[in-house]
Amino acid sequence: MKSKAVLLICALFSSSSVIAASPNWDYVQGGYYTADVSDFDGFDPTGFGVGGAKSLGDNVFVRGSYNMLSDDLSDGDVDFDQGSAELGYRYKISSSTDVFGTIAYQYAELSIDAEGNDASTDADGFGATIGIRSMVTNNIDLEAAAGFLRFDGDSEAITSITANYFFHSNVSVGINFTKISDVSTLGGVLRYSF
């Protein structure tokens, strides 16, 4: 049953894009992000993030991201920083669609400055994802991925969905949604592909 679902998703991504371009794995981007931490009522940090990817040959790529978010609470400021570094392998299933897998290092830090008292906690871990990325038209680039991360001995699910619209051959605007356990991050990005 799962293999049928994967084949259906692959067909959906590739069937509508017979003449579409191939996904570009070389880019830099920056954007505005907001996060929702379900176990932390009233904490809705916002801020900026940067990221990028680079091909290393025909099939291997690296990519990374770093987000710096913050929120003002009644008794102080809270900063929430996230970072990731990935090594991936992609396989072209059509002229416009790639399937890919990554291994990743993820980092998160929460720091609080309340009335002159500072406190912070951080976590890091490793994980893996599998996904699909397709230029469904010459202007629309879609990506979906799922996997797991291991933080401090606990495994957490990770899912992400990204959509970019190219209004110029090298410049796009897009949205990105990522969920890791109880933390959901939504971003609006400007991307330059090279």
pLDDT in tens, 130-166: 999 999 999 999 999 999 999 877 899 999 999 999 9
pLDDT in tens, 8-63: 444 444 444 345 689 999 999 999 999 988 877 778 899 999 999 999 999 999 99
Give the pLDDT of residue 181.
83
Give the pLDDT of residue 110.
86
> Locate tokens 């920083």: which residue?
81
State the Cα–Cα distance between residues 123 and 85, nearest whole angstrom. 15
Which of 57-61, 65-69, 114-118, 167-171 has the weakest average pLDDT? 114-118
2-193, what's its fold? Porin (2.40.160)
Quick check: 112 and 119 in contact, CB under 8 A? yes
Give the pLDDT of residue 3.
53
- Helix (H) or strand (E) holding 8, with range, is helix 2-15
Give the pLDDT of residue 40.
72
Of 179, 184, 185, 126, the residue nearest 152 (C-alpha): 126
Give the pLDDT of residue 76.
79
pLDDT in tens, 59-76: 999 999 999 999 987 777
Average pLDDT (110-129) is: 87
Give the pLDDT of residue 151.
83
Share of the chain above pLDDT 90, in %: 67
Residue 120 has pLDDT above 80, yes or no: yes
> Locate tokens 């994802």: which residue?
129
